[in-house]
Structure 1
Amino acid sequence: MSTAKRSAGLLLFRVVTTEDGGRDAEVLLGHMGGPFWAGRETAAWSVPKGEYTPGEAAAAAAAREFAEETGLPVPDGTWVPLGEVRQPSRKRVTVWAVEGDLDPSRAVPGTFTTEWPPGSGVQREFPEMDRFAWCTPEEAAERLVVGQRVFVDRLRRIVRDGHAPYEP
């Protein structure tokens, strides 16, 4: 019996004031690197996240992956649980949000190696994420892979509407 893969991530956000004086959140997203995602914008961005094994705590994996994918330390702050979702691939993704600010141009992404072109026998190295950007919720709704959009919705309810952190 196989178990579904699990990933954990950290969604960095900053609170902004809306035109009507309310509160909303901008989120830091990363564009997925490698040849498959090159030239794509819609549904080609992600929360900095990565897989972890059953023996590793999801929160520890989220912190590790944020640091690996951005090359920057996790900002200090309270982690807000945004819950878990099952992706169409059956992978389970758990995400926390933390309020903070950083300059996306300072990010130094980690890399991965894959055979490219497929079947060539040539191994090439690519960045896990090739660029980062602050996005409004509307931009995030277009850029994020579909299965992760719910995390921005949950965060937005917390920030904008003052709801308690997400609980399953």
Structure 2
Amino acid sequence: MPETSAGILLHRAAASGRELLLVHPGGPFWAGKDEAAWSIPKGLTGPGEDGDVAARREFAEELGVAPEGDLIPLGEFRLSSSKRLLAFALEGDFDPERLVSNSFEMEWPPRSGRRQSFPEVDRAAWFGLEAARTKLHLGQRPLIDALVAAVGG
């Protein structure tokens, strides 16, 4: 059975239209990547854990603030990694300058024997719908249409 992730697509109304908060993964692999590299805050669900509970936990771990408010289910999406993504929408605001992400350790440089710590998320930013379509990973782009269907543009 494929792994399941859960995440929250934070959105807000702006003068130019709906904006989405996306996060950029940290670590050396993603350092120079921008287009199709961004994501919603998300992570793996634990055994028997409800998707909405996991989505709230992962949002807090990746951004450093607990999400408040009612989550709107956007559905289940299949990612290119064969993982399933349970996505939820939440209307709200977040100042990307206040980002405080958890971190992970990995051997870097490869085969060096040295371990380094990297933030799970190295930055967050607000994007309009069209910009988000190019920034998001390909498998997460259908989230935009699901959000527009659920709450409007």
Is this a same-fold pair by TM over 0.5?
yes
What is the match of residue 14 of structure 1? 12
> How far has the Cα of 1:158 moved from its partner?
2.5
Larger Cα Rg: Structure 1 or Structure 2?
1
Q: % of aligned pairs identical? A: 50
Separation of aligned partners in 2, 1:116 and 1:28: 29
Moved over 3 A (4+): none
Separation of aligned partners in 2, 1:58 and 1:117: 35
Q: 34, 56, 60: which is aligned to 1:41?
A: 34
TM-score, reference length from structure 1: 0.86
Alignment of 1:1-168 (within 5 A): 3-18=1-16, 24-74=17-67, 76-160=68-152
Separation of aligned partners in 1, 2:109 and 2:145: 37
TM-score, reference length from structure 2: 0.94
Q: Secondary structure at the match of 2:33?
A: coil
Structure 2: gaps of 5 or more residues? none
RMSD: 1.3
Structure 1: gaps of 5 or more residues? 19-23, 162-168
Aligned length, in residue pairs: 153
Separation of aligned partners in 1, 2:92 and 2:64: 16
- Contact 1:15 1:159 (C-alpha < 8 Å) held by counterparts: no
